[in-house]
Structure 1
Amino acid sequence: MKKTFLLPIILCFFYNINSSAQTLQDMSSIMTADNQIVIYTAKEIITMDSSRPKAEAVAVQNGKILAVGTKEEVSKILGDKKARLDKTFNDKVIVPGFIAQHDHPVLAALTMASEVLSIEDWELPDGTAKAVKDKNDFMTRLAAAEKKMEDPEEALVTWGYHPNFYGKLTKADLDKISTTRPILAWLRSCHEMVMNSVALEKYGVTSDLIKTWGETPQKQSVLAEGRFWEQGMFAVAPKIATVLATPEKLQKGLFITRDYMHSKGITFGNEPGGILVKPLQDGVNRVMSSDEMPFRWSFMADGKTLCDKYKDDKQVIEEAEKLESWYNGRTSLAKKQVKLFSDGAIYSLLMQVREPYTDKHHGEWMTDLPVFERAFKIFWDAGYQIHVHVNGDAGLDRVLNTLEKNQKANPRIDHRTVIVHFAVSAKDQVDRLAKLGCIVSGNPYYPVALADNYSKNGLGPKRAESMVRMGDVERAGVSYSFHSDMPMAPADPLYLMWCGVNRYTTGGRVVAPEQKVSREGALKSVTIDAAYSLKVEDQMGSLVVGKLANFTILEENPISCDAMKIKDIKVWGTVSEGRKQPVGGKSTKVLLGFNTSELDDFSQGALDHVLKILAAHED
């Protein structure tokens, strides 16, 4: 029964108040309860409220903000109400709680539960996994990890190797680490697996097995090298399911992801294109819906899958609305919001571009035009906010053309269509999306991690260096947010800010400095503008009366510190709806069991969801 559970897991991956109105009348609806009022003071309080950018104190009751201002102003507003003064943050900086605009917790859980040896640092709760320098460094560290393992039968699973950075990895390389222990290297893209000889033999991966596969999986497998990618990896997955994941490993990974995100100051997050398999969501909820979760998390419907599954347009919307009942506690549905997909992924250089790739290969469409146009119209006409995965400038043309067509046929105000990822684009497209009323959720990590490589391979210097042109977006007055797409990049808002402000590559150079964003814009991108992109700006994103008391507590001010040190600012912890949560605080990590019927149910239908996630980020 457990094997049937594992395969899909492996593949898987309140009231609006004017910001300046702090009268006693405004307070009346909040101050009716008997719960204690707490006044927090700090070295600096950055509100992200344009009417009052800075403050000295913030008062909280029942998880919401009562008052913000100078100490005298807050005291006057509270009047004779009893309040406790909390000076915990007197030597720290309070900012609005960070928002993870776009991440994938299940995929993150599975990767973070492995031996992480990747192209970037991962500051995990149990220690930092430093970036791999080169192939020799990878081999040395993998060998050290193998030597630490006590059970000689246990498989060693590692994640993060990137052949574009370090060269090809094969069975022969892994055999040098061990000829007795199974070793599986899950590459950075999550779309390729390399196994040593012991693993191939132990799990029954033979030439006879491969001959039973279809033509494409066979072409995407090289047994002599122990390499399986794309359809080849999916074909071999049933053989290695019990190695890559168990119910316990999934939950362990979710605990790691939870604590990692908390350590980065996250107070709210979202997965666009969320889970459409109830048993899988139930399993995730066991960890993420718990009151011990240090942040809330919302899931957004996957419009592409819904439209593929249901041919009746009305039923598509009905099924999307039914998803609200799937969540509870600290998880929720992002209501009246949906994710669609345009073109291919940036890591695989499969985005659709206006000018050819330098090596003449071609990009791919994730959704055929008739299907994309149908899905867009269904959700547009139903009043949904539409978030569109798009990476190439040709892909963006398609999105903007479709938006313009629907806006003419059925005009909408404040539709907030979100351009997601925004890898390769042109200046004329920024002007156009601004006129059409779009907003942007960009990944500022792309130029930092990929500009050096893609300048030489695929895109050429001009396009590679100007990836994620957020400077143009900011100058155009377009609202923008930053996201990490974890595990495609670290879910670290301060690091994302650093990327956007500096555009300093892993090779040590600044690319397209005109595309840098301002410090304040970067902070807005992970607070109030991230909230705006998810239509929760009335609840969070700035320190304003009536909003949730969600704070991120920092050791330094990211707006005034040295720009190159933004990523190094220490996070004390967070305040979540009035609850103080220091980093490293105790939290339950007890593994929760699954009964047999749940394991059977879990396996049904989960494959479609996880393949969709992988297809969107294939490498």
Structure 2
Amino acid sequence: MKKLTKASLLMLGVFNIPFLYAEPATKQTEQVLYSGGKIITMEGQKPQYVDAVLVENDKITQVGKLNDVKKHLHGKVSMVDLKGKTMMPGFIEPHLHPSIAALMLPNDTVAPHAWNKPNGVTKAAKTPEAFIEGIKDSIAKASPGQMHFIWGYHQLWHGELNRDVLNKLASDKPVGIIHRSFHEIFINDAAIKLFKIKEDDFTGNKQVNWQKGHFYEGGWLALVPKIAPYLLNPESYSEGLNLMSQLMLKNGITTVSEPGFPSSDFNMEYSLLKKEMDTNPPYDVLLIPNGTQLYTMAGGSNEKAEVAMSKLPEKYNTHNITFAPKQVKLFSDGAIYSLAMQMKAPYLSNKFKGEWMTPLDLFQEQLSFYWNKGYQIHVHANGDKGIQQVLDFNIKDQQALPREDHRFTLHHMGYFDADLAEQIKKLNIETSVNPYYLWALATKYSEVGLGKERAENLVQIKELSKRNIPVSFHSDFAMAPAEPLTLAWTAVNRVVAEGNALSQEQRIDVFTAMKAITLDAARTLNQEKFIGSIKVGKTANFTILEEDPFNIEPIKLKDIKVNAVVYKGRWVNNTL
């Protein structure tokens, strides 16, 4: 990838990137009546079926029995026969990163598990030998002098990696190996030279190992702004965003939220995202400002960061990109895929240790600042010690300033127990979890890192749901595939990659799981008044499935095919 200046980014229009949706559909002006299939509203405490739904423009106007709904027909009416298919509220992805999708999808993937991309399936690399072979093949295709990124490395499958290894594999080609967690990167000498960085640039940063070419957690966050022109190459980045749009349609997602925008460069990321969204793909993007990144951009001032984020909706909102008002994302402990989450009990090996993504004094300052400003706070927290620290800080804030319906939300929650769930309940905190951690990591982490008891009890969703704590599911793409049905399947079955079932007492019912990708996912974003269920007055966003998830064996849940989506009243077939 060639280096791009900000000036060159202003010329984005010169790139002729193929898009999936060239023109928006003509705005619907007549009524549309949906019937002839199973229509599940996701209202109430169990599956509720109705005969028909009436839509006018982009809003639901009637829901109920067919004859009753027909009484409200007038003027020009289009009839949609579902032909026995199942219609549900449009699936919602409450935590997905377009910036990660844009980097991961068009570039090579060499990861422990296979990945389904719109442009093909990448095979799993489960051993050090398979990993080295995979990156050799990838590097061979790279152009000399142009930055080449490969995503998917994990030390427990792939062994030790460092700058010397990369120098031997690619002496003349700048290469960056992005960790499976997306919280770390390894770079070689050629990349260091291309980036024009030096060791002194990171003096005092304990999360940089210069000799190994290893940047992790705070070191990775410090590196990203310096290499943004290479990460955000418009040609490949735009291709990645287009591939993301194809994934959204394939998996029935009609709303995406990016909690933590921007990741590195606001203007670059927003311009490229808007370019993709201007093609009118059938989903909306809700952006939640990254309080930590904006703090840095504002010269180390929470006050200036908050003023800046308060102006974002007026300046940057479009018909399909919205900055969430009075919501902010903050960061507690490190990545679960890096075994850098903060754990109360020690890791099995001293090779791993917990990291804080934000220094604790600054983290507490930010939590209190945004709490006192009345924000809905979203916090990245993975380990039980990391979660406990968030709760301990919030207890003090709630004592100093009690707030009703504050919607404080913990995201990810890799490992927690009943005691933490009880504390979360008492604080009226809400949750958005990634069930896929169990599928991908439980077996390996039983052997290395956590041990059998903790690893087999990752993401204990039942501890949340039985306490009536609101819980949604997210992929944190690409920490899990952007497949809501796969997330629900994992939570319902608790079956892991190797095929065995674990901690079956933590299984949840199908309705709770489906609610976690519809109505409760909307709640996480404070959008349940507008999306998440089929109800009069809500936006006409639907997902059309080939089968009813409540009338099949739970083990088949992830195999249900998405037939189409309806986005703001516009029907779009899934052709993938």
TM-score range, shorter chain: 0.7 to 0.9
Instruction: Please give the alpha-carbon distance, in whole angstroms, between the structure 2 residues aligned to 1:438 and 1:234.
Output: 27
TM-score normalized with structure 1 length: 0.79
The aligned counterpart of 2:181 is 189
Does structure 2 retain, via aligned residues, the 8 Å contact 1:169–1:194? no
Does structure 2 retain, via aligned residues, the 8 Å contact 1:480–1:530? yes
Cα distance change of structure 1 residues 201 and 441 upon mapping to structure 2, 3 Å threshold: closer
Q: CA deviation at 1:251?
A: 1.0
Structure 1 letter corresponding to 2:291: G
The aligned counterpart of 2:413 is 422
> Which residue of 94, 104, 111 corresponds with 1:101?
94
Cα distance change of structure 1 residues 150 and 45 upon mapping to structure 2, 3 Å threshold: same
Cα distance change of structure 1 residues 447 and 548 upon mapping to structure 2, 3 Å threshold: same
Does structure 1 retain, via aligned residues, the 8 Å contact 2:232–2:269? no
The aligned counterpart of 2:118 is 125
Instruction: Please give the alpha-carbon distance, in whole angstroms, between the structure 1 residues aligned to 2:410 and 2:227.
Output: 37
The aligned counterpart of 2:22 is none
Greater relative contact order, per chain length (Cα 8 Å cut-off, separation 6+):
1
Instruction: Please give the alpha-carbon distance, in whole angstroms, between the structure 1 residues aligned to 2:388 and 2:49.
Output: 40
The aligned counterpart of 1:167 is 159
Instruction: Please give the alpha-carbon distance, in whole angstroms, between the structure 1 residues aligned to 2:207 and 2:541.
Output: 51
> Which residue of 28, 38, 41 corresponds with 2:35?
41
> Which residue of 292, 301, 305 corresponds with 2:289?
301
Q: CA deviation at 1:478?
A: 0.9
Instruction: Please give the alpha-carbon distance, in whole angstroms, between the structure 1 residues aligned to 2:168 and 2:560.
Output: 40
Instruction: Please give the alpha-carbon distance, in whole angstroms, between the structure 2 residues aligned to 1:319 and 1:237.
Output: 21
Does structure 1 retain, via aligned residues, the 8 Å contact 2:172–2:190? no
Q: CA deviation at 1:364?
A: 2.2
The aligned counterpart of 2:475 is 484
Q: CA deviation at 1:507?
A: 2.5
Cα distance change of structure 1 residues 278 and 242 upon mapping to structure 2, 3 Å threshold: closer
The aligned counterpart of 1:260 is 247
Instruction: Please give the alpha-carbon distance, in whole angstroms, between the structure 1 residues aligned to 2:404 and 2:175.
Output: 55
Q: CA deviation at 1:580?
A: 0.8
CA offsets, 1:334-365, max 9 Å, x none?
A: 11111122222212222222222222454222
Instruction: Please give the alpha-carbon distance, in whole angstroms, between the structure 2 residues aligned to 1:379 and 1:203.
Output: 37
Q: CA deviation at 1:137?
A: 4.2
Worse-superposed segment, 153-162 or 213-222:
213-222
Corresponding residue SS for 2:387: helix
Instruction: Please give the alpha-carbon distance, in whole angstroms, between the structure 2 residues aligned to 1:335 and 1:236.
Output: 29
The aligned counterpart of 1:283 is 271
- Higher relative helix content: 1
- The unaligned stretches of length 5 or more in structure 2 are 10-26
Instruction: Please give the alpha-carbon distance, in whole angstroms, between the structure 1 residues aligned to 2:185 and 2:134.
Output: 20
Q: CA deviation at 1:254?
A: 1.1
Identity among equivalent pairs (%): 35
> Which residue of 437, 441, 447 corresponds with 2:428?
437
The aligned counterpart of 1:70 is 65
The aligned counterpart of 2:343 is 353
Instruction: Please give the alpha-carbon distance, in whole angstroms, between the structure 2 residues aligned to 1:109 and 1:311.
Output: 28
The aligned counterpart of 1:60 is 55
The aligned counterpart of 1:271 is 258
Worse-superposed segment, 449-458 or 299-308:
299-308
Q: CA deviation at 1:174?
A: 7.5
Instruction: Please give the alpha-carbon distance, in whole angstroms, between the structure 1 residues aligned to 2:118 and 2:394.
Output: 42
> Which residue of 533, 543, 557 corresponds with 1:552?
543
Cα distance change of structure 1 residues 102 and 546 upon mapping to structure 2, 3 Å threshold: same
The aligned counterpart of 2:330 is 340
Corresponding residue SS for 1:404: helix
CA offsets, 1:268-305, max 9 Å, x none?
A: 01111212844224423433431522210011122234
Does structure 1 retain, via aligned residues, the 8 Å contact 2:28–2:58? no
Aligned runs of 1:448-467 on 2, under 5 Å? 448-467=439-458
Corresponding residue SS for 1:272: strand
Instruction: Please give the alpha-carbon distance, in whole angstroms, between the structure 1 residues aligned to 2:226 and 2:399.
Output: 52
- The unaligned stretches of length 5 or more in structure 1 are 10-32, 586-619
Cα distance change of structure 1 residues 499 and 175 upon mapping to structure 2, 3 Å threshold: same
Does structure 2 retain, via aligned residues, the 8 Å contact 1:203–1:239? no
Cα distance change of structure 1 residues 435 and 242 upon mapping to structure 2, 3 Å threshold: closer
TM-score normalized with structure 2 length: 0.85
Does structure 1 retain, via aligned residues, the 8 Å contact 2:32–2:80? yes
Structure 1 letter corresponding to 2:87: I
The aligned counterpart of 1:594 is none
Structure 2 letter corresponding to 1:158: I
Instruction: Please give the alpha-carbon distance, in whole angstroms, between the structure 1 residues aligned to 2:200 and 2:390.
Output: 40
Cα distance change of structure 1 residues 333 and 155 upon mapping to structure 2, 3 Å threshold: closer
Cα distance change of structure 1 residues 366 and 146 upon mapping to structure 2, 3 Å threshold: closer
Give the alignment's Cα RMSD to 1 decimal. 3.6
Structure 1 letter corresponding to 2:310: E
Instruction: Please give the alpha-carbon distance, in whole angstroms, between the structure 1 residues aligned to 2:35 and 2:496.
Output: 38
Q: Does 1:114 align with 2:103?
A: no
Cα distance change of structure 1 residues 364 and 185 upon mapping to structure 2, 3 Å threshold: closer
The aligned counterpart of 1:91 is 84
The aligned counterpart of 2:233 is 246
Does structure 2 retain, via aligned residues, the 8 Å contact 1:278–1:326? no
Q: CA deviation at 1:102?
A: 0.5
Structure 2 letter corresponding to 1:90: K
Does structure 2 retain, via aligned residues, the 8 Å contact 1:58–1:74? yes
Instruction: Please give the alpha-carbon distance, in whole angstroms, between the structure 2 residues aligned to 1:86 and 1:558.
Output: 21
Structure 2 letter corresponding to 1:167: G
Instruction: Please give the alpha-carbon distance, in whole angstroms, between the structure 1 residues aligned to 2:225 and 2:99.
Output: 19
Cα distance change of structure 1 residues 457 and 134 upon mapping to structure 2, 3 Å threshold: closer
Q: CA deviation at 1:502?
A: 1.5
Structure 2 letter corresponding to 1:334: A
Q: CA deviation at 1:172?
A: 9.0
Instruction: Please give the alpha-carbon distance, in whole angstroms, between the structure 2 residues aligned to 1:426 and 1:318.
Output: 38
Instruction: Please give the alpha-carbon distance, in whole angstroms, between the structure 2 residues aligned to 1:188 and 1:471.
Output: 27
Corresponding residue SS for 1:416: coil
Does structure 2 retain, via aligned residues, the 8 Å contact 1:228–1:236? no
CA offsets, 1:5-35, max 9 Å, x none?
A: 49x99xxxxxxxxxxxxxxxxxxxxxxx992
Instruction: Please give the alpha-carbon distance, in whole angstroms, between the structure 2 residues aligned to 1:172 and 1:94.
Output: 54
Cα distance change of structure 1 residues 338 and 184 upon mapping to structure 2, 3 Å threshold: closer
Instruction: Please give the alpha-carbon distance, in whole angstroms, between the structure 1 residues aligned to 2:143 and 2:197.
Output: 29
The aligned counterpart of 1:616 is none
